[in-house]
Structure 1
Amino acid sequence: MWRKRTVGWLILCMVCLLLLIARLVQIQLLDTESFSKHNVNLLEESVKQRTQELVIDSGRGDFLDRNGELLTHKKLRVLVLFPFLKKIDWDAEKVAEIAGISNQALRNAVENAKKPFAFGEPYPIELTTSQMERINALKIPGVFAVEKKFERASVPAEQLIGLTGENASLLKKRYPEKELPEKTQVGVSGLEESFDEFLLPEGPTKLVYHVDGGGAPLFGINVKYVDPANPFYPVNVRTTIDQTIQQKAEELVDQYKIKKGGLVLLNIEDNSVLAMVSRPKINKKNPYEGSGITNRMLKQEIMGSVFKTVVAAAAIEHNLDDPTRIFDCTKKINGKPERKYNHGKLNFTESFARSCNRTFGELAKELQKKDPSILEEYAEKLSLIGSVGWKGEIYHTDDFRQFPNEDKGRVFLSDEARKDANFVAMSGIGQHEVRATPLAVANMMATIARGGQKEMVRAVSKIQYKNGTTMVEFPEKNLSGESISPYTAMKLQKLLREVVLNPNGTGRALSSLPYSVAGKSGTAETGKYEDGKQLHNKWFAGYFPFEKPKYALVVVNLDVKETGNTVNLIFADMVKMLYELD
């Protein structure tokens, strides 16, 4: 009996030993880079246990403004110190003297350190080039003066640029053929997402120091500098944003307390984004809480009377703009007396300047009788339907889009609405089912200012290699489809200018600005209520200077009560600011 038990125990021990060996083989040889369901890289983790390191640059590509300045990060010359300094004799007094800091503060910082750090973090003291050279000339182990990349506390155009995050499953799904560490940052919104493949890091640049279990030197006190040393990567994405204008635009939007909305500023000459502000801001602690991560400038909104520009274009090209014709603006669209906005009897030009709903409701119905799709046809001619962001072929991508989450505009959702005279009248004043993005509205203004030439909107002009040479260019491109005639564009330019020049025009408050403005206001009922009061989308869209157009600007304040004229005030301050900068 005891022999059988002994044999049984031996067999059990052998099985356990074999299982243990198999587990060790799995850990040491087979799954070293993707252990367990969490895909843990055991090689990396083992190295981390016996090293202290300071990442100087993550290796992910950067975003630059149109002048080549960093947008999301800043590079600072800082003093880096390693914890092992507390265990050796070093000339702290000399380092403190060169850096212009207290010797005691320097020693206290080292004594309290558990890992390498930049002195003064989270607000590190910046060194001059001379200070860097003098500190490094001392050749003190564990003391370095280096240029380190820091993320900005406040990123300009944060919704446009977008966010990154660690997401192992998304990383594997997006790049199944690439071997990337699971902690690799991936773009999850904005340009970070659309340009993610170009921005992926080759590897971080860091200072590494090997220690034993107690934190003592393992191979002496030499610190190793690790750098992928690729002259071409990481790349830089050169945006069209002007950082100075962007920052001032954000200050204005916040100054006027825009809670939901923002602005888009385009450079008409090359149809590129100079500034884009979206509110609410992103909650960095929880980006998906609320709607801060959403770029409202790329989302379709009810646009109200701004859409009358489309109706006016169609009316001009179908000879319905007779200057002698008089419209009864004492009545609403439905024929009932207009008590709130009783403009009296107006002609076509005055109706546009004063934004008479009756005029454009009637014109929309007359146009619909000619062709039920005519409003959509002219909305497309003015780039309000479809996407307007840059798209095209880049490398192996046939349909690369700079704005992958851009909404498309629309006029009608159904054929029934398209043929219903009442719905058509409401659509003529930008209500009912009419929607467009602020970006598309800005592009409409730029199209009119250029005499009818439709172009795609760019937020990025090129991708540059690390050495500054060009990897990919995003040239100016025309939007496909028909456009309005130069004659119609000229007539629309005059109408938009009259909005500002007319003593009763909805843009009259902008008549005395240093740049001459042409534009159109819009107040759209959203169907939402607060405290029993109807909420509105407030717009002002235009371009300037009128004589030689340079900028197209849209300001929008969403879901607000009708009181106040915030969008006109922001528009005016933007014009003044740009005039001063120019």
Structure 2
Amino acid sequence: MKRRVIIVGSFFLLALFFIMFRLADIQLIHTESFTEKGVNLVQESVNQRTQEVVIDDGRGRFEDRNGHSLRNHAEPTLVLFPFLKEITWPVEDLSEIVDVSSEKLKRLIENTKEPLVLSSEDGVKLSSSDLEKINHLSIPGVFGIYRQSPIEQSIGEHLIGITGENAEVLREKYPDRQDLSYKTQIGITGLEETFDEFLLPDAETKLLYHVDGDGNPLFGVNVKYIADSNPFYPITIKTTIDKDIQEMAEDVLSDQKVDNGGLVLLDIETNEVLAMVSKPDLDRSNNKTLTNYMVQPLFPGSVFKTVISAAAIEYGLDDATREFNCNLNLYGENDGGQDDGMLTLARSFAKSCNYTFTTLAEELMEKDPNVIEDTAEKLGLLGPVAWSGKIFHYQNFKQLPEEKIGSIWGDEKDKNVLRAIDQTAIGQKDVKVTPLGVANMMATIARGGHKQQVKIVENILYKNGTNMFSFTSKSLEGEKISSYTAAKLQKLHRLVVTDPEGTGRRFQNSPLEVSGKSGTAQTGKKNDKGQMLYNKWFAGYFPSKNPKYALVVVEMDTTSAEAGTNAVFYDIVDKLAEMKGK
């Protein structure tokens, strides 16, 4: 019996010591960094006794090349605190300004325990002068403010990216930022993730007041306005995106029912991204939709014949009088599937004759086994092509770190296998390149062979508008094609459109002269009807003379008959001509 008492007593003593230690841990030791999440218990206890309206969470912003916001906007907003139901206040005067009946305002306040925030979504449309009038009334608990709100229709979601809460990742990435709440939003994808360290909030701007356990004012009806006085933060990331063009591009893809694929539009002179759209649309509940396919390697099909053509020109295999038997398939066999007769290199490019390019590839490989990948590099195709360089303590900062590198050969032994060479020559086998890389190749050709890094961000700006950092344009390292080769390629790409039987003849009626190359790549997949699925491309630039834009459109995993690639390219050219007055 005595032994049992000792055992039970010891158990209770241990339990008591554990509880006491736990209380000490909570109240004395880890009051400001409780659990792995780093919960600030002092702050949380204060939060339980306050009600607040966050006007601005303090995270940095994104804007387009013209200074238009891409993610948030400052919206005129009416804020009503619930203690108004306990006091007498001139509700009729407020009703007259906001054009909402006094009875409705009273009813809204009566039915809420939290601060009430009313904006245009709630039918309360206010102007800047309305806000002045509201605040001039000096009613306790009534405020007219500009509140940062998400733009109703987000654009460039794959490019800009998304944010979310993850306390463990936050503490791991920023161990020195103990001032950050475990609820702080951090970048998960896109530019939000890339520039996350710059975008982290310094402090929130908010309205708050203290309440008791029943939600009644604890220290009277005084509402505090807490604002960040730092003139430098939050910062703004100024992108190269043109908001109007980005919206137009997204609309065109939707109108043409391209639900799997996307496009990249570059300014040829600066090599900056004006628009980038990836499909399917981003859905937070589906991780597969988070991928930006415009920076992922895809089978290019006949678009890759541009590389073989460039190599042929550089190695002197572009005899204008030489003809190729385009009744033969890519392996030089007469299987009855082709009926194009004898064609020159130029017309073979326009009509996309496979046999011409497999023949040239075989001849080129005899001269130099590395010729295909070397030429692809000269054209700025393989990547990475997005801006990278030194910025502050980053030695190799990448604007698009999710960009993957393209590939030509899956196995070096394939360089000695004719059938592998033939399939590679037409952009199949193991050839995969990114749409961004293809757009950069087209811009390189249009510029006469000068290859540059692709920019998506121009500047990092302080809150007061001064410059923190500028991303200057940079050339891509390595060899490049000659100006002679570029000029010959320009003629080939123009012939694709002007030839009566060219694969791009649809663009003969475009409002701007188009030069480009089509591509159809087998993916090895089938749909539920057993039909083969393809990647359908059209890549080019316009106007053909004094080119301004390089555009790549790709639809992935589509049947050839259903592809909307050419229709999207045509509409983009048409609408850009209209927007820019031709």
State the TM-score bracket (shorter-chain normalisation): over 0.9
* SS of residue in 2 equivalent to 1:32: coil
Match of 1:371 among 365, 368, 373: 368
Q: Report what 2:579 is aligned to.
A: 581
In the other structure, the counterpart of 2:42 is 43
C-alpha distance in 2, partners of 1:564/1:24?
A: 67
Percent identity for Structure 1 against Structure 2: 49
Aligned residue runs from structure 1 range 496-575, under 5 A? 496-530=493-527, 531-575=529-573
Partner-residue secondary structure (3-state), 2:112: coil
Q: Equivalences for 1:393-542 in 2 at 5 Å?
A: 393-530=390-527, 531-542=529-540
Which residue number in structure 1 is paired with residue 292 of structure 2?
A: 295
| Residues 76, 146 of structure 2: 8 Å contact kept | yes
Task: Specify the alignment match of 1:272 in structure 2.
Answer: 272
Are the counterparts in 1 of residues 120 and 126 from structure 2 also a CA contact under 8 Å?
no
Instruction: Quote the offset at 1:227 in angstroms.
Output: 1.4
Q: For residue 38 of structure 1, report the CA deviation from its aligned partner.
A: 4.5
Match of 1:150 in 2: 149
TM-score normalised to the size of structure 1? 0.96
User: What's the TM-score, normalizing by structure 2?
Assistant: 0.96
Query: 1:353-372, aligned counterparts within 5 Å?
Result: 353-372=350-369
Q: What letter corresponds to residue 336 of structure 1 in structure 2?
A: E
C-alpha RMSD of the superposition: 2.1
User: How far apart are the structure 2 equivalents of 1:322 and 1:5?
Assistant: 103
In structure 2, what is the Cα distance between the partners aligned to 1:409 and 1:18? 62
The runs of 5 or more residues in structure 2 that have no matched partner are none
Paired residue for 1:222?
Answer: 222
Whether the 8 Å contact between 2:60 and 2:234 is mirrored in structure 1 is yes
1:306-361 superposed Cα distances (whole Å, 9 cap, x missing partner):
00000000000111111111100011012233544421110110000010001001
The corresponding residue for 1:181 is 181
Distance 2:572 2:187 in 1: 31
Matched residue count: 578
Structure 1 residue 386: Cα displacement: 2.5
Contact 2:75–2:119 (Cα < 8 Å) also in 1: no
- After TM superposition, the structure 1 = structure 2 runs for residues 110-125 of structure 1, keeping only pairs within 5 Å, are 110-120=109-119, 122-123=121-122, 125=124
Cα shift readout 1:480-509 (whole Å, capped 9, x = no counterpart): 000100110010001000101111000000
User: Which letter does structure 2 place at the counterpart of 1:450?
Assistant: R
CA separation of 1:5 and 1:406: change in aligned 2, threshold 3 A: closer
Q: Segments of 4+ in structure 1 off by > 4 A?
A: 4-21, 120-124
Q: How much has 1:9 moved relative to structure 2?
A: 11
* Residues 40-90 of structure 1: per-residue CA shift (max 9 Å, x gap): 221121011100001111100001011111101121011111111111111
Cα distance in structure 2, aligned partners of 1:155 and 1:107: 34
3-state SS of 2:516 partner: strand
**Where do residues 18-417 of structure 1 align in structure 2 (5 Å cutoff)?**
21-120=20-119, 122-123=121-122, 125-179=124-178, 180-284=180-284, 286-288=285-287, 291-337=288-334, 339-417=336-414
Q: Deviations over 1:536-571 (max 9, x none)?
A: 100000001111110000000000011145111111
The 3-state SS of whatever aligns with 2:555 is strand
Please report how far the alpha carbon of residue 36 of structure 1 lies from its aligned counterpart in structure 2 after TM superposition. Answer: 3.3
Contact residue 37 and residue 168 of structure 2 kept, 8 A? no
Stretches of structure 1 lacking an aligned partner (at least 5 in a row): none
Q: Work out the CA distance in 1 between the residues paired with 2:569 and 2:6.
A: 90
Q: Deviations over 1:402-445 (max 9, x none)?
A: 10110101110211112212111111111111110000000000
Contact 1:308 1:429 (8 Å CA) reproduced:
yes
Distance in 2, Cα, partners of 1:428 & 1:453? 24
Is contact 2:302–2:426 with CA below 8 Å preserved after alignment? yes
**1:148-192 deviations in whole A, cap 9, x for unaligned?**
011124321100001111011111121122212211111011000
- What CA distance in whole angstroms lies between the structure 1 residues aligned with 2:515 and 2:86? 71
Cα distance between partner residues in 1 of 2:561 and 2:397: 42
Contact 1:329 1:338 in 2 (8 A): no
Show CA shifts across 1:443-474 (max 9, x none). Answer: 00000000001100111000000000000111
Partner SS, residue 148 of structure 1: strand
Alpha-carbon distance in structure 2 between the residues aligned to 1:12 and 1:565: 73
Question: In the alignment, residue 566 of structure 2 is paired with which amino acid?
Answer: N
User: 1:292 aligns to what SS in structure 2?
Assistant: helix
Alpha-carbon distance in 2 for matches of 1:524, 1:13: 73
- Over 3 Å counting, the alpha-carbon distance change for 1:372 and 1:219 in structure 2 is same
Structure 1 window deviating more from structure 2 (386-395 vs 114-123): it is 114-123
How much does 1:224 deviate? 0.5
Instruction: Name the SS of the counterpart of 1:549 in structure 2.
Output: coil
Cα distance, 1:350–1:20 mapped onto 2, change above 3 Å:
closer
Offset of residue 104 of structure 1: 2.0
- Please say if residues 236 and 463 of structure 2, whose CA atoms lie closer than 8 Å, have aligned partners that are also in contact: yes
* Superposed displacement of residue 102, structure 1: 2.1
Paired amino acid for 2:558: V
Q: Aligned partner of 1:433: which letter? A: D
